[in-house]
A and B are shown apart, each in its own frame.
Chain A
Amino acid sequence: MITITRADTRPIQNQGDIVLVRKVVRDWALELQFSIVDQTKIITAASELARNAFEYGKGGTMKMEALLNGIRKGLRLTFEDQGPGIENMELALTDGYTTGGGLGMGLTGARRLVNEFDIKSTPGQGTTVTITKWK
């Protein structure tokens, strides 16, 4: 059974918030005693998704949850925005596809960096991306 040992929510409304997201995710990952590689992976994934929420979703929030599954610790991050949503999910989850000016690696790259990845989007209503990294 998975229990949530700690939870918090952070805003993603400007570029400075993306930096703060990286900082707070680092703090939590450190507290959960993630290895340096796992810390780097979850911070990088968070940075990509926070930027997506800001650039494409016109701002949103990041919900953070420290998890405990038996003796296994984990960190779950949920990025939510009320932006235009994603019309074509298959395309959005293709390496190199972008509707902005980026590389199109953010979403797919973030998926590769974590253990669990879930995305839900309704066109016109917004997008929610949940990632979990287990220690």
Chain B
Amino acid sequence: MARGALSLLASRRPECRARAPRFGPVVSQFKRIREIAIAIALLAIPFFVLNASLRDPSRQSWLDQQILSLLSGVQSGGTSAARVFSQFFDDYVYLVEVREENARLETRIARLEAERHQLLDEGLENRRLRSLLQLRERVGGELIAAEVISRDIAPPFFRVTRVEIDRGSRDRVRAGMPVLSGQGLVGLVQRASGRSCEVQLIVDRRAAVDVIVQRTGARGMLRGTGEDERYMARIQYLGREDALRVGDLVHTSGLGQRFPPSILVGRVTRIVREDFGLYQEVEVSPAVDFSRLEEVLILTEGALGDTVADVADEPPARRP
């Protein structure tokens, strides 16, 4: 066995190879005894420690007290290290929980935000539908509700030039029928197909509406300007003597039976009176925001009982 240990020692360290034949057995023996001594000591220490720590304090010997006082320092260090480790672990777990809670709360906020937007949308829709309902009661006649399904947009200001709604000839909608919204007059049905129809807006260059200024009773013909950058119309053939003011409300007059009377068309925004001529030029901003238009009413039967389309089919009377 000693020879085996010797050869092992010799093979491991070249510098020991020369000394190995002389000191090998002694070194090996010394190492063996040292290891056994260490092992016995390591077995004895906990035994005495256990004896000292578990014994009744009144029966502790001087050796027990010395061991315990020696241990208290070690134990204090160990406890501090354990506390630091535990604190670190607690902090880590806390941070992980905070992160998870953060993610959970972010998801919840996103959901609540979506619900809030939905409620706002529903509130706006509710308001629009309520105003449509009020309009239906006020206008009378037979009205069909419709939704905007597409819009023609004019670049570069994204102005809506024409809308398409989800009612057509199958719903008895025909060209020339007035289209209204809760805000006011939208325009006329220009072309009706099976399940949809196109609506010409009152700001279209080809649109013409007989209007009356509510405050003064002045009458004129409203025509769209068809401008790219804004929704605007002008009242033509309004006498110079009519004292209009900016902010006056403009309604449909009901004459010509193309539109029902007293439907809000817009508000006077600019008045130009030249030094010469019979008429003044009045710009009207429409009451309806065509960019946000979603629900409309189509008047298929006039308040007086006659079909509006029948009247609309007649050639328009020539104006001066």
Q: Do A and B come from one complex?
A: no
Q: Which residues of B contact A (CB under 8 A)?
A: none
